[in-house]
Amino acid sequence: MFPAEIRFGVGTWAWGDRLLWDYGREYGKEDLTAAFRRYLNDGVRFFSTSSSFAEGDSERILGEFNARTPVDLLIATKYVPRIWHLRRSDFMDALKLSLTRLKLTKLDIYELCPPVGRMTIARMAECAAEVLDMGLVEQVGLSGYNAQQIDTFNEAFSRFGYSVACLEIPYNLLDRSIETNGTLDLCRSLNITVLAQQPLAMGMLTGKYDSEAPAAGSRRQMMLRYHTPSLDILLRTMNHIGLENNGKNCAQVALNWIYNKGIVPIPGTKTLPQAIENAQTIRWSMTKEQMNLLDTLTGKTEVRVPEEA
């Protein structure tokens, strides 16, 4: 079971990533070190990474940080199946490589991405049960699974006496699909904690960009999936809510909205100022009326500009 006391975490997609996030140009190891230390000072200890982030460099950086801190972290990384992964040994080899990069002998949470090629969900459940039996992994989670895949995996996994701890899935004010496609309801019925990937919609919910001017470069196309004509209205509303809550910014409002939904946001962090702002997520709470306003603006109902008083 995912620890109930963990209500916030840190995503490390940008750690070491030069192609998408401009690591080494816009920020570097010193920035990540300062952000990491700040999170520890603020009591944040959950970090989520992946073997696929920056070709393993994200795991290496997190492993280096973890090795130098006396604080017990909760670390999750992902198994990303490849088309050539056919055997249990391929699964085991991938886990051992992640453990090496993270400088660990046992992983807290191993999150499995959906299978590809001939690796079936049933076989993946067998592999997951095996590494749990061997004591190499404490808990198993899923990443990017839809409701049907979760149900299939859970059924196969339960035959070995195990249950799924968590699901990492995109969720934010601009992508609430898990609320309507059965994924969120199923997770709650199975006591699976939901972790919100891309809680700031690749930066679209930070207030730094508007609907006409997303970021340039490789990230632009990924941000455009969140494009909506009502984005500017939403950002103005978020700014107003932030002002009503001691000057919180758009990113803090977006993260607090997720937190108040009972879902664990795991925003990416590149710099110390981001860490300072993000860590405030669980230290305040917007009102029910403010939550309802954001729900309405981002729901299926048509968004209208409010009339001037």
Cα dist. 295→235, 299, 307 in Å? Answer: 13, 6, 19
Q: What is the pLDDT of residue 207?
A: 82
Domain assignment present for 306: no
Domain assignment present for 163: yes
d(CA 214, CA 223): 7
Q: What is the pLDDT of residue 309?
A: 26
Please indicate, yes or no, whether the overall pTM of this predicted structure exceeds 0.85.
Answer: yes
- CATH number for the domain spanning 57: value is 3.20.20.100
Number of structural domains found in the chain: 1
Domain assignment present for 1: no
Where do we find the tokens 């910014």?
249
Domain assignment present for 3: no
CA 3 and chain centroid, separation: 16
**Which amino acid appears at position 302 of this protein?**
E
Where do we find the tokens 């340039």?
216
Give burial (CB, 10 Å; 0-12/13-18/19+) of 1.
exposed
Give 245-296 as a DSSP string. TTT--HHHHHHHHHHHTT-EE--B--SHHHHHHHTTGGG----HHHHHHHHH
Within the chain, which residues score under 70 in pLDDT?
A: 86, 209-224, 300-309
Q: What is the pLDDT of residue 301?
A: 36
Number of Cβ within a 10 Å radius of residue 182: 14
Q: What is the pLDDT of residue 84?
A: 74
pLDDT, one tens digit per residue, over 187-212 is 999 999 999 999 999 889 998 765 55
Domain assignment present for 246: yes
Q: What is the pLDDT of residue 211?
A: 55
Q: Which domain holds residue 63?
A: 10-298
Q: Any residues with CB less than 8 A from the CB of 115 and at least 6 apart, and which?
A: 81, 121, 123, 124
Domain assignment present for 200: yes
